[in-house]
Amino acid sequence: NAGVMQNPRHLVRRRGQEARLRCSPMKGHSHVYWYRQLPEEGLKFMVYLQKENIIDESGMPKERFSAEFPKEGPSILRIQQVVRGDSAAYFCASSPAKRTGALGPQHFGDGTRLSIL
Amino acid sequence: GENVEQHPSTLSVQEGDSAVIKCTYSDSASNYFPWYKQELGKRPQLIIDIRSNVGEKKDQRIAVTLNKTAKHFSLHITETQPEDSAVYFCAATYGSSNTGKLIFGQGTTLQVKP
């Protein structure tokens, strides 16, 4: 059973360009989460999605950032007009849903290291 | 508010000794508390978790305790080994575990000296 797959592992962009980060959840997982990690810091929640729905985007910057999880294909985190401060590791996690309604444990992918020149 | 405080930020122990990392949380509705281990340049790996209906959980050399009244939880690693060296993060759900949102502590860098 493949784990959470993220690509690319490393992404370099110049200021003003767009960055697209992809995440395929573990098989059987229908919940996806995106987190950002700055060097030597903890993970900061950005957004929680289910198929075709954004459930909680309270950690997403209001401008330039968007996320989607379409019916078919991976979840995408999109950053438009990138700035130096966007340089970070972006981790995706996925979890199953339980019969009780509670969410299962979140398992992380290897992350995308985004560098802005 | 949503806040998880983690201490200490660094911890150095001798191989074979025990290590304890402590976290406090602010949201009284939190009911799920996972711990992750992250090696340099790698993904955070879930090592143990606990839900609010239990006070303690153990898995071989790793245990977690939860005090809901005081809103703190701790990770205990016994008989530490050099391969336990990593950054450890605690986390708590913001609200119930149905919300999906995890609030992470700042991390503890554990060094186990051979």
Q: A16 exposed, middle or buried (CB, 10 Å; 0-12, 13-18, 19+)?
A: exposed
Cβ–Cβ < 8 Å for A23, A91: no
A110: contact with B, CB 8 A cutoff: yes
Q: Evaluate if residue B51 carries a pLDDT over 90.
A: no
Quick one: average pLDDT of B31-49? Answer: 94
pLDDT, position A59: 92
Selected for mutation to probe chain B from A106, A107, A113, A115 (highest B CB count within 10 Å) is A106
- pLDDT tens by residue, A51-72: 889 999 999 999 999 999 998 8
Read off φ and ψ for residue A22, nearest 5 degrees.
-115, 150
Smallest Cβ distance to A111: which of B43, B98, B101? B43
pLDDT, position A42: 86
- pLDDT tens by residue, B56-74: 999 999 999 999 999 999 9
* Minimum distance, in Å, between the CA of residue A69 and any CA atom of chain B: 15
pLDDT, position B25: 94
pLDDT, position A92: 97
Cβ–Cβ < 8 Å for A5, A23: yes
DSSP structure string for B47-66: EEEEETT-SEEEETTEEEEE
- A101 contacts B44? CB cut-off 8 A: no
Euclidean distance between CA atoms B55 and B51, whole angstroms: 8
Quick one: average pLDDT of B41-51? Answer: 93
- CA diameter of chain B: 42
Euclidean distance between CA atoms B57 and B78, whole angstroms: 14
- Chain A residue with the nearest C-alpha to that of B88: A42
A45: contact with B, CB 8 A cutoff: yes
**pLDDT 10s per residue in chain A (117 long)?**
579 999 999 999 999 999 999 999 999 888 999 999 998 788 999 999 998 899 999 999 999 999 999 988 999 999 999 999 999 999 999 998 765 666 778 999 999 999 999
Where residue B88 falls among pLDDT bands split at 50, 70, 90? very high
Read off φ and ψ for residue A14, nearest 5 degrees.
-90, 155
Count how many residues are written for chain A. 117
3-class state of residue A72 by DSSP: coil
pLDDT, position B7: 97
SS (H, E, C) B3-19: CEEEECCEEEEECCCCE
pLDDT, position A102: 66
pLDDT, position A48: 93
Smallest Cβ distance to B46: which of A44, A101, A107? A107
Where residue B28 falls among pLDDT bands split at 50, 70, 90? confident
A105: contact with B, CB 8 A cutoff: yes
